[in-house]
Amino acid sequence: MTLRVAIVGSGPTGLYTFQKLIETAEPLSIFIFEKGDRAGIGMPYTSETADRRMLANIASIEIPPLNQSYHDWLTSQPKAILRSYGVDPDTFDVRTFTPRMLLGEYFRAQFVSLVGKAEARGHFVSIHEGTEIADVVPEGRHVRLETTVGPADENFDRVILATGHMFPIDDDPTDHYYPSPWSGLIDADIPAAEVGAMGTSLSAIDAAMAVAC
pLDDT at residue 172, as a whole number: 72
pTM of the model: 0.83
Helices (H) and strands (E) in the chain, counts: 5, 7
How far, in Å, CA of 201 to CA of 188, rounded? Answer: 21
Angle in degrees, 0-180, between the axes of helices 100-120 and 12-21, rounded to the nearest 10: 20
Domain boundaries, the chain: 3-55+99-161, 181-212
CB distance 66 to 19 below 8 Å: yes
Rounded CA gap, 73 and 67, in Å?
9
**CATH superfamily of this structure's domain 3-55+99-161:** FAD/NAD(P)-binding domain (3.50.50.60)
Low-confidence ranges of the chain (pLDDT < 70): 165-171, 182
76-89 pLDDT, tens per residue? 999 999 999 999 99
pLDDT of residue 161: 96
**Spatial distance between the Cα atoms of 12 and 2, rounded to a whole number of angstroms:** 25
Q: What is the pLDDT of residue 170?
A: 57
Predicted pLDDT of residue 111: 98
pLDDT at 209: 80
The 10s digit of each residue's pLDDT in 176-188 is 888 877 677 777 8
Nearest residue to 20 via CA among 73, 71, 66, 76: 66
